Amino acid sequence: MARYVKRGKVWQYELSIKEASGKYKKIRKSGFRTKSEAIAEVSSLESKIKQGFKVNSKNPLLSDAFLEWMEIFKKGKIE
């Protein structure tokens, strides 16, 4: 579930997701000039979550992100 808030002159989204452990986690990002930019970012993020990507609020290592991508999209297709 996403929530959109105008903070001064910029928009922020707050997305609440349920982790595998059963706990809820909030992801926030701000700095969007318009509300529609924030909505587009959230819809992109939600589609990635549905495909199986794990959302990490910290910056993941490129190698970890690549391995996760290989596991989800290329497993069984490339040897």
E strand or H helix at 17: strand 10-18
Under 8 Å between Cβ of 38 and 12: yes
Predicted TM-score of the model (pTM): 0.65
Which of the pair, 55 or 23, is modelled with greater confidence?
23
Nearest by Cα to 3 from 24, 28, 21, 22: 28
**Residue 58: pLDDT band with limits 50, 70, 90:** low
Query: Rounded mean pLDDT of 38-58?
Result: 83
Domain ranges within the chain, ordered by starting residue: 2-74
Which of the pair, 56 or 65, is modelled with greater confidence?
65
**Residue 4: pLDDT band with limits 50, 70, 90:** very high
Separation of alpha carbons 30 and 52, rounded Å: 24
